[in-house]
Each structure stands twice: as structure tokens, then as C-alpha cells.
Amino acid sequence: MIQLGFMASGRGSNVHAILSECLDGTIDARGGVIISNHADAGVHLVADDFDVPSVHIARDQFSTGDAFAAKLHSTFVENNVDLILLAGYMRKVPPMLIRAWQGKMLNIHPALLPKHGGKGMYGLKVHEAVLNCGDSETGVTIHFVDEEYDRGPILFQHGGVMVEKSDTPETLAEKVLKVEHLAYTKAVSRWIERYSGK
Ligand code: GAR
């Protein structure tokens, strides 16, 4: 059984969904550690609920980017993590960490990449862009993380979230989030089947 590591900045509903599926056996994995860049992020409470260790590690605690990356890396290694999941992590992931975990780090993006991705495209900004473009459909993408924002190979994509005239960024975010929870768990299972060797 593989062990999952998470990086999250906010409430952690995707972390919650994935850990629930681990508990009921839908995903053949268990939580290893959760890292957040915010000490008061809701995701720490999710960690407590599931009895998974969580740690606050932020760039400003370190004098260099390399020291920050090294701490993130050693935290995942010490907790026997096989796969890192970015789940609403709103800061730049240090390139050193991305290189060390190539093929073993996934991100969820709340739109159909390659549209509406890139630097600065996160949270409600993504849904605003979908509305501004007049897209009739949106969805969610889970992709491998590489050094370019939102450009790594796609592992799983789920469209079919219809954009209505009455939608606002907030209502769209809510509709997409429901699909995210299903899609991220499917993507993790797909990664385990194809790449874990377990
Ligand atoms: C999710 O909608 C996720 O797709 C988005 O942040 C939210 C986190 O929610 N991520 C990005 O926009 C990254 N570019 P959660 O804390 O409830 O899982």
C-alpha cells in the first residue's frame, strides 16, 4: 500500500475526500503527512480528523529557498511518502522539490487545461477566466507537476460541468469542486495502477 503526502494551503476538502476514500478502501493508499504553508489552514483539522500528521512549513521560516525545499523533501521522506498530491497549494513549489519527485507529484487544477492555467491562475481567478471567455463547459484536470505552471502531462481530466448564464465565479467553483473530489480519487487510483509498481 502506498503512502500519500499532501501540500495544501486552505480548507482541504480535496484532502478530506481522498483520505475518506483511503479509509473505506476505494483507494489502496493511506495518508502519510500533510504540509501546509499556513499554520491556521483548515487542512490541519482534516489531518486531525483522519489521524494523519500535519506540519506547518513556509518559505519565510528559512533563509534560503534550498533550505526550504530540503525541509519539505525530508518531511516527505521521513514519513515514507510515495506520491505527493498538491491540493489547493497556492504557493510556488520549489524547483528542487519538483525535480526530486518527478513523476511522483500531482496537482489538481479546477479547469480544463491547457485552458485557464499558468502563473496566477488559481482559485476563483480560474472560474472568472472561464466566465470571461464565454466557455460553455468547464471541469477539472489532474496532471504531473513539472517546472512550468500547470503544463505537466495530464493524468486525468473530467469535463461536463456546464456553465450557465446565471453562474458566478463562486457558483462555478462550487460545481467544479464536487467533480474535483471524484476526479482526484480516480487519478490517484490510476497513478497507483500505472506507476507505483505495487
Ligand atoms: C480547489 O478548487 C483546487 O482545484 C484549487 O484550490 C481549491 C482548493 O480547495 N487549486 C488551484 O486553483 C491550484 N491552481 P480545497 O482546499 O477545498 O481542496
Domain-wise residue ranges, the chain = 1-101, 108-180+187-198
Fold match flag (1-101 vs 108-180+187-198): yes
The residues carrying an active-site annotation are 109
185 vs 183: CA distance, rounded Å: 5
Q: Is the CB of 32 under 6 A from ligand 1?
A: no
Mean pLDDT score of the chain = 96
* Residue that wins the pLDDT comparison between 198 and 142: 142
**Atom 6 of ligand 1 has which residue's CA nearest to it?**
88
- Ligand 1 binding pocket includes 191 (Cβ within 6 Å): no
Q: Which pTM does this prediction carry?
A: 0.96
CATH topology of domain 1-101: Rossmann fold (3.40.50)
Q: How many Cα atoms are found within 13 Å in the side-chain-facing hemisphere of 81?
A: 26
* Mean pLDDT along residues 82-109: 97
Stretch 46-62: mean pLDDT: 98
108-180+187-198: what CATH class? Answer: alpha beta
Residue 35: the pLDDT is: 98
- List the end-to-end C-alpha distance of the chain, in Å, as a whole number: 7
Three cell numbers, residue 76: 516527505
Q: How far does residue 87's CA lie from ligand 1's centre (Å)? A: 6
Q: What's the rounded Cα separation, in Å, for the pair 185 and 21?
A: 7
Which ligand 1 atom minimizes the distance to the CA of 15?
Answer: 18
Q: Would you say 6 and 84 are in contact if contact means Cβ atoms under 8 Å apart?
A: yes
